Amino acid sequence: MRKLIDKLYREANLTDSELLDLITNISSQDREYLFECARNKAREKYSHNVYLRGLIEISSYCKNDCYYCGLRASNKCAERYRLDKSQILECCKTGYELGLRTFVLQGGEDMHYTDEILVDIISTIRKSYPDCAITLSLGEKSVTSYQKYFDAGANRYLLRHEAYSSDLYSKLHPKNLNIETRLDCLKNLKQIGFQTGCGFMVGAPYQTYEHIVKDLRFIKDFQPEMVGIGPFLPHSDTPFGEEQAGSVYLTLTLLAVVRLLVPTVLLPATTALSTASEDGLVLGVRAGANVVMPNLSPVDNRKKYELYNNKLYSNAESAQAKAELEKRIKSIGYEVVEARGDAK
C-alpha cells in the first residue's frame, strides 16, 4: 500500500484499479501516511497557507429537485429567502473588513436572478472590490450567461459534477437533470476562462467505490482549479432522509487522493465535513485541504439554507470567530492568510 501511495505522490496518478485498491483497502496506519504525503504536496505548492472564502448564500429558492438536497423544489417545509443587491453588498463589506478577499455567491437555481440582475450585482462588487476574487456557484446556465458573468468580473465558478457515472447521477437526480449537461457546463466554464471547480458527495445513496474511482478519473482528466468534496448528510424532508451519512474517514482519504492527483488544487475543508465531525476542519487540513469557507450570509437567513440537517452556521461575521478559526489553524502549524488565493 505504501508503494502505491509513493507512486501517487511521485506521478500524480494511478491506474483505475490501483485507485480502487487504495480507497477500498487502506488501513488506518497507511491512511496516516497518505495524509502526510498530501500535506507535503500541499506545502510544496501553497506553503502552509490556508485561504479563506466568504460564502454568501444568496437564495434558498431552487427550481431543481435533487433527491439529496434540502432546498429541492418539492420540499414544502423549506423556508425560502433571497438576498437583494444591497444585502449582498453588505455581506461583502463585512467580509472585506474581516480580511476576506474572495466572495462566493452561492444559491439554488432561482429564476428571480436574471442575467441582468446578476451582471449588475457582479459588476458592482467588481468595482467596489477590485482586489477581490468573485466566485459564483449558481448552477447550470447557458454558455452566453456564463460569458456575461465572466465579462462582468466574475473569476471563478463552482459546479459540482456530483457523479460522473450516469447511472449514479440518475439515481440522485430527477430525469430532467443529466451528467452530460453538467459536464458541458463545466467545459464551457473552463473554456470561458473561469477558474473552475467540480466535486461530489462521499457516501451518497447507491454510491460504490467503483463510482468514486470514476469521479477521481474525471477530476484527474478535467484538471479543475478547485474541488469540493464533503460527506453526504441526510435531510429529513427529502427522499434520502432515512439514508446513512457518508463516512468522514473516506472523505478525508479522498481529499488526500485529490490533493495528490491534482497537486495545485484549491481544496476546501467543507462545511459538511465540519458538520459530520467536530474536528472536521482540522482533519481536512491535515488531509491536504487548504481552503476554508466561512459563512458571510446574514445570520437570520443561515438556517434557511439547509442543504442537510444540522448544517453548521459558523459565526464568521464576528471577528471573534475568525480569531478562533485562525487559532485552530495555527495550532496545527498552518496560517490563515489574507490573499485572493488564486490557483497556481
69/173 Cα distance (integer angstroms)? 10
Task: State in angstroms the smallest separation of the CB of 156 from ligand 5AD.
Answer: 15
Q: Dihedrals φ, ψ of 271, to 5°?
A: -60, -35
36/262 Cα distance (integer angstroms)? 16
Q: How many CB atoms lie within 10 A of CB 151?
A: 12
Contact 55, 106 (CB under 8 A): yes
Among 52, 58, 198, 201, binds ligand 5AD (CB under 6 A): 201
Is 9 or 308 the residue whose CB approaches ligand 5AD more closely?
308
Is residue 68 a contact point for ligand 5AD (CB under 6 A)?
A: yes
**111: Cβ–Cβ under 8 A, 6 or more apart, which residues?**
63
Task: State in angstroms the smallest separation of the CB of 272 from ligand 5AD.
Answer: 5
Is 156 or 235 the residue whose CB approaches ligand 5AD more closely?
235
DSSP 238: S
For ligand 5AD, what does the binding mask look like between residues 263 and 282, x meaning CB under 6 A? ---------x----------
**47: Cβ–Cβ under 8 A, 6 or more apart, which residues?**
none
Judged by CB under 6 A, the stretch of 46-54, 228-236, 277-285, 316-324 that binds ligand 5AD is 228-236
Task: State in angstroms the smallest separation of the CB of 236 from ligand 5AD.
Answer: 10
Is residue 212 a contact point for ligand 5AD (CB under 6 A)?
A: no
Is residue 307 a contact point for ligand 5AD (CB under 6 A)?
A: yes
Query: Would you call 59 helix, strand, or coil by DSSP?
Result: strand
Point out which residues bind ligand 5AD (CB under 6 A): 68-69, 160, 162, 201, 230, 232-233, 235, 272, 307-308
